[in-house]
Amino acid sequence: MSYRSQPEESERMPKGIPYIISNEAAERFSFYGMKAALAIFLANYLGVLGGKSMNEADATAYVSFFNSAVYLTPLLGALIADIFLGKYRTIITLSVVYCLGHLCLAFMGVGGSVQVWLLSGLGLIALGAGGIKPCVSSHVGDQFGIKNQHLLTKIFNIFYLSINFGAVISNLAIPFILKWYGPHIAFGLPGVLMVIATITFWMGRNNFIHIPAHGSSFLKELSSREGLTAIGKLIPLFLFVAVFWCLFDQTASSLVFQAEKMDLHIFGIEVLPSQIQAANPFLILVLIPLFTWVIYPAVNRFIPLTPLRKVGAGLFIMAISFAIISLAQEAIDRGETPSVWWQLLAYVIFTSAEILISIVCLEFAYTQAPRKMKSFVMAIFLVSVTVGNLITGVINIYIQIPEITLKENQPHSGFDGKKGTSDDLIKVDKKIQSPVTAILEESYATIQHIHTTSKSLPTTISGNKAFSSILDSWGNPLRYTQISSTKARLSSDGPDQQSKTQWDLGIIIEVKKDEKDERGTWLEKEKRKQNLIANTSSVKKSHDPFEITYYAGGQTSLEGAAYFWFFTKLMLVTAVVFIPFSLFYKPKSYLQE
């Protein structure tokens, strides 16, 4: 069957747009729902299904690398669309791959290796979700011709609204489903929505403008002076935008872990840490009309708002938002429990930055791409997200201090590499016996006493004062760090006498969780089924308010507020350097005829 391959000469909205918009809403529910649950799943649920649960830095790196893959595969999808299949057939084919990815995630823990199911599911989703990205957005632009091109800005805003309409619902629903009904349903439901999205898109096939694949002519235009010039001009712009994504996409990882340490009551209702992500798509729905019909026209009266000026303003605004995140983390580091409204304020600010950067670049990239390279240039823009998430992932891997792997009841030769000497380590019943174990336990008793009298953990300053006179086996004072209102770390620099190395020996002190927090949840039921927690009726309760975990290395060199301030400074430097770039950039637009 042949389809229309040229836009109609009409000033109206193209007929295929409703199918694309409804498809995008369902597909985004699918993707953002899965992504909203991913970090918490990796940290708290993976171990119950048979894998190994991750710490915060590992989970942040894992989510970042997954995002990197999602936004790298658009290059493959664009090449398939522009050279071989065309956009419509590429979207339909890769959507089926996308559905299979969700199926794999839903079957984690049912049989076989949970790690294989996890990697297969995320790999297929990365291929499917990423592969269709440049095709869908450029497919929107293909529906317009010369007479109705004035509607492009409006439709790209509506397109972005549809993305966030699906995202706001899934960001609220899926974390709740994960907590109470478990990962099989939490990952399975987005798969059902992806099936609906695929069917909806197929139903619109006769209403779309199908721009055919360009075959070798695409490669000819790509290698032409015009094509290379267009890409060469856009790549530096996308590298600046990559730093924005480096910060922004931490909403699904490090900001979720920060929210776990905050007061999560909003208007008297307690929410889940991963549900805070819903603020971003909700604010998009509110702020896009405000920017489009109020802010842009008002500012344009005084300063012409070119796309690059919008992007530059967005970069500075993003730095401000992470400064607020950093200040909130400073309060957490002091042992306070700040309101989640601090994070919501940051969400308002960096959502404004997203509107100024992401939406503007989406339209700008389309207009700056030569006609036969639309999908490919959109893919290059999406690779900026890959680069940003790679930066985040690499940083979170780099800051992790190696851990000394100890097997139960098997002595480790220690720092000197000789067995039978004083610095040997041995793990017995999850407790690490070392030259400083007795000193750490004596000091822990002091922390218990302080908590009993003050009902709180010592602050970092008061704790270090209290332990400054207590020396470890190598003559160095113990170090104390308050991580949050419920968590602290007491450590020795170890036999190498250097802080923040794999030879650090210490304990993590954490206030025991209230049993009511998990009672009746899927996680609690599964733990009882696997005898990972005992029946409270048959166990004598301990009066110790803390749980302690022994460690040898395995911490992070950049943590707390210092972590967020690092990214704030990186964003600010990027925004300043962007100014001269924007002054020299000369745009040139191309539209379908």
AA letter at 34: M
Classified as helix, coil or strand, 511 is strand
AA letter at 243: V
521, burial (CB in 10 Å: exposed 0-12, middle 13-18, buried 19+): middle
Residues sharing a CB contact under 8 Å with residue 533, sequence separation 6 or more, in sequence order: 524, 527
Regarding whether 503 and 572 lie in a shared domain, the answer is no
Regarding whether 145 and 259 lie in a shared domain, the answer is yes
Regarding whether 536 and 391 lie in a shared domain, the answer is no
List per-residue pLDDT tens for the chain, 593 residues long: 567 767 666 667 777 788 888 777 788 888 888 999 999 999 999 989 988 889 899 999 999 999 999 989 888 888 888 788 888 888 889 999 999 999 999 999 888 889 999 999 999 999 998 888 777 777 777 777 777 777 777 777 777 777 777 788 899 999 999 999 999 999 999 999 889 888 888 888 887 778 777 777 777 877 888 888 888 888 999 999 999 999 999 999 999 999 999 999 999 999 999 999 999 989 988 898 899 889 999 999 999 999 999 999 999 999 999 999 999 999 999 999 999 999 999 999 999 999 999 988 878 887 887 877 776 787 788 889 999 999 999 999 999 999 998 888 898 998 988 888 888 999 998 899 999 999 999 999 999 988 888 889 999 999 999 898 999 999 999 999 999 999 999 999 999 999 999 999 999 999 987 666 677 889 888 888 887 765 544 444 557 788 999 999 999 999 999 999 999 999 999 999 999 999 988 877 765 54
Regarding whether 490 and 580 lie in a shared domain, the answer is no
Regarding whether 231 and 254 lie in a shared domain, the answer is yes
Domain encompassing residue 240 = 17-400+562-584
- Quickly tell me which residue has 């620099």 as its tokens: 493
What pLDDT was estimated at residue 517? 67
Regarding whether 511 and 378 lie in a shared domain, the answer is no
In a domain, 453, yes or no: yes
In a domain, 434, yes or no: yes
In a domain, 412, yes or no: no
433, burial (CB in 10 Å: exposed 0-12, middle 13-18, buried 19+): middle
Q: Are 4 and 209 in contact (CB under 8 A)?
A: yes
Regarding whether 148 and 74 lie in a shared domain, the answer is yes
Q: Residue 197 CA to chain centroid, in angstroms?
A: 23
Classified as helix, coil or strand, 101 is helix
Residues sharing a CB contact under 8 Å with residue 409, sequence separation 6 or more, in sequence order: 426, 427, 428
Q: What is the CATH number of the domain that holds 497?
A: 3.30.700
CA-CA distance, 521 to 533, in Å (whole number)?
A: 13
Number of alpha carbons in the 13 Å side-chain half-sphere of residue 309: 7
Regarding whether 541 and 575 lie in a shared domain, the answer is no
pTM: 0.88
What pLDDT was estimated at residue 7? 66
Q: Are 208 and 589 in contact (CB under 8 A)?
A: no
> What are the backbone angles phi and psi of residue 73, rounded to the nearest 5°?
-65, -15
Structure tokens at 498: 């250097």
- What does the pLDDT look like over 324-349, one tens digit per residue? 999 999 999 999 999 999 999 999 99
Nearest alpha-carbon partner for 315 in 382, 243, 395: 243
305, burial (CB in 10 Å: exposed 0-12, middle 13-18, buried 19+): middle
In a domain, 84, yes or no: yes
Q: What is the CATH number of the domain that holds 232?
A: 1.20.1250.20
What pLDDT was estimated at residue 538? 42
Classified as helix, coil or strand, 6 is coil
What pLDDT was estimated at residue 420? 85
Regarding whether 515 and 570 lie in a shared domain, the answer is no
Nearest alpha-carbon partner for 479 in 451, 449, 439, 445: 439
CA-CA distance, 116 to 186, in Å (whole number)?
A: 18
In a domain, 246, yes or no: yes
Nearest alpha-carbon partner for 434 in 556, 554, 552: 552
Cα angle 533-546-405, degrees, rounded to a multiple of 5: 70
Regarding whether 361 and 472 lie in a shared domain, the answer is no
Q: Are 588 and 230 in contact (CB under 8 A)?
A: yes
In a domain, 347, yes or no: yes
Regarding whether 447 and 370 lie in a shared domain, the answer is no
- What does the pLDDT look like over 442-472, one tens digit per residue? 999 999 988 888 889 999 999 999 898 999 9
User: How many CB atoms sit inside 10 A of residue 300's CB?
Assistant: 10
In a domain, 591, yes or no: no
What pLDDT was estimated at residue 524? 87
Q: Are 448 and 509 in contact (CB under 8 A)?
A: no
Regarding whether 566 and 533 lie in a shared domain, the answer is no
In a domain, 327, yes or no: yes
Core vs surface per residue 263-296: b (16+ CB within 10 A) or e: ebeeeeeebbbbbbbbbbbbbbeebbeebeeeee
State how many domains the chain has: 2
